[in-house]
Chain A
Amino acid sequence: MSDQAVAVNRGGPTDKTLRIDSWWVEPVVTVGMLSTFLIYTTWAALVNEHYYVAPYLSPFYSPCLSTSCAHVTLGLFDWPLSPAILILWAPAGFRLTCYYYRKAYYRSFWMSPPACAVRDGHAQYSGETRFPLLMQNLHRYFFYAATLVVLFLWWDALLAFRFPTADGGSEFGMGLGTLVLIANAAFLSLYSFSCHSCRHLCGGGLDVLSQSPLRLKLWRQVSRLNENHMLFAWISLVGVMLTDVYVRFISMGYISDVRFF
């Protein structure tokens, strides 16, 4: 709908916006952050090397399901391409359909709208009523899949305490990488379990919560986490990227892991 149409139908000012604050900063920063993540993740997922240095496995390649992996988690079959492709659809789909990220990219990439009380960037709008945006309703299924991945990341964090020895065995130890993997799994868990779909499934879908005390408790806990869902979304996004960078740099010999014991 053009400005002219608004003016004819309703009266009042027809400006794109009358806001005088820096409303454009947030979408610009969001585009910058998400684009950086997308470009880096795509490269890291396709490059298919330097994703494992004992005992650390990059989260982009976990769980490693191909028998050709540098560190096999579950060798289900031989996959000729990068094994990251087998699993990254789950966390990618989870973030793509996430209620917070929808706000972020609808505003910043799609300009629908770029900011509150700033005119929508499109003449026509049908929201999430048609394909492909109708598929946003499958968010809960991506939540299930992403939760499985998070469980494997905790397993990797546990394995990060088991360092290889010169005689081919292993010993208990802890390095900075161990802490990095634990922090990554923790941030991703906070993000996953603060999800709106998780909140609904825990108890939000009930009208009479008092009759299900366990679900009421769960719903309250998830609701508390949910208040910070946006914060967890960003921390876990940056965290998972930095975790991959850390593992990759050690694997490439750019840095050495700090071994505490």
Chain B
Amino acid sequence: MASEFTMRVWRGDISGGEFKDYRVEAQEGMVVLDVIHTIQATQAPDLAVRWNCKAGKCGSCSAEINGKPRLMCMTRMNLFESGDTITISPIKTFPLLRDLVTDVSFNYEKAKKIPALKLKAKEADGTRRMYQDDVDRVQEFHKCIECFLCQDVCHVIRDHEDNKPDFAGPRSFVRMASLEMHPLDEEDRRELLKVDAGLGYCNITKCCTEVCPEGIHITDNAIIPLKERVVDAYYDPVVWLMNKLTGK
């Protein structure tokens, strides 16, 4: 059964813009991205929207729906009541290119600064082994689809543009956790985490976890364990003393 909605969609670019209302009929089973495509096809052919897979796997169609960072392709229209007004705006943390499309290159620049996996030496038989118990922990981080909703919702950079040079953001921390906890990696990224990536800026408000469409426990399983590792290296006097005594 079809339902009618008013879609308030942000139209504009970095120089300015405004919300424009579109009356749209949504069929059963439609998601927000379908409705945006309907608007494109029938009322606003110049509406800019980034999308790709429409299956929650490419991370392209990130937007803010009624103010909440979400994937448009994973937000079903039956979440709303017929007759509702639904606000669709671009993700706020990154510079707007046009309408719903933002420039997310900040995230790729941060990714470039993360040292890649540095493999341990091979064992005597010429192989490297890792056990399932060790792999399980980092598998969760590999689910990341780089939608950058966690980066968008993080108030450290969302509300404080001046922090961008000093803070890598939750997506980068997930990547660093996947490397730092890797059983075959021997790179030490703790100085990078503390100094250049600005892990100390995170005040654990868990918004990144709340918006992650892949259900990654970003705060509990990536950021807090990394914070604890930084504590080991810089703030724990007992660990510091032990390391001095054992020559580590």
C-alpha gap A102/B200 in the complex (Å): 13
Residues from chain B with a CB closer than 8 A to the CB of A200 are: 224-225, 228-229
Segment 195-247 of B: residues with Cβ below 8 Å from A: 198, 200-207, 210-211, 219-220, 224-225, 227-232, 234-236
Of the residues A12, A19, A125, contact of B155 by C-beta under 8 Å: A125
Residues from chain A with a CB closer than 8 A to the CB of B64 are: 18, 117
10 chain-A/chain-B pairs, Cβ below 8 angstroms: A10-B14, A10-B92, A10-B96, A20-B67, A116-B153, A199-B225, A204-B228, A207-B183, A207-B185, A209-B134
The answer to whether B185 touches A106 (Cβ under 8 A) is no
The answer to whether A10 touches B95 (Cβ under 8 A) is yes
Q: Is the interface of B mostly helix, strand, loop or mixed?
A: mixed
Q: Count residues of B near A (Cβ-Cβ below 8 Å).
A: 64
Question: A103-B205, A210-B133 known; A112 and B155 CB under 8 Å?
Answer: yes
The answer to whether B183 touches A208 (Cβ under 8 A) is yes
A116 to chain B, nearest CB (A): 4
Of the residues A10, A106, A119, contact of B203 by C-beta under 8 Å: A106
**Smallest CB gap from B210: residue in A:** A116
The answer to whether A216 touches B133 (Cβ under 8 A) is yes
Segment 5-62 of A: residues with Cβ below 8 Å from B: 5-6, 9-13, 17-21
Give A contacts to B, CB under 8 Å. 1, 5-6, 9-13, 17-21, 99, 102-103, 106-107, 112-113, 116-117, 119-120, 124-129, 133-134, 137-140, 196-197, 199-200, 204-205, 207-210, 216, 226-227
Residues from chain A with a CB closer than 8 A to the CB of B16 are: 11
Give B contacts to A, CB under 8 Å. 10, 12-17, 19, 64, 66-69, 87, 89-90, 92-96, 102, 131, 133-134, 137, 153, 155-156, 158-163, 180-183, 185, 198, 200-207, 210-211, 219-220, 224-225, 227-232, 234-236
**Smallest CB gap from A126: residue in B:** B201
The answer to whether B224 touches A196 (Cβ under 8 A) is yes
Question: A99-B204, A210-B131 known; A138 and B66 CB under 8 Å?
Answer: no
Of the residues B133, B159, B204, contact of A102 by C-beta under 8 Å: B204
**Smallest CB gap from B167: residue in A:** A127
**Smallest CB gap from B95: residue in A:** A10
A7 to chain B, nearest CB (A): 8
B21 to chain A, nearest CB (A): 14
The answer to whether B231 touches A140 (Cβ under 8 A) is yes
Residues from chain A with a CB closer than 8 A to the CB of B235 are: 134, 137-138
Residues from chain A with a CB closer than 8 A to the CB of B161 are: 1, 5-6, 9-10
C-alpha gap A199/B17 in the complex (Å): 48
The answer to whether B201 touches A196 (Cβ under 8 A) is no
The answer to whether B160 touches A128 (Cβ under 8 A) is no
The answer to whether A117 touches B69 (Cβ under 8 A) is yes
B47 to chain A, nearest CB (A): 15
The answer to whether A207 touches B134 (Cβ under 8 A) is yes
Closest 9 CB pairs of A and B: A11-B96, A18-B67, A19-B67, A127-B201, A116-B207, A200-B228, A11-B14, A120-B159, A129-B200
The answer to whether A210 touches B134 (Cβ under 8 A) is yes
**Smallest CB gap from A8: residue in B:** B14
C-alpha gap A49/B180 in the complex (Å): 52
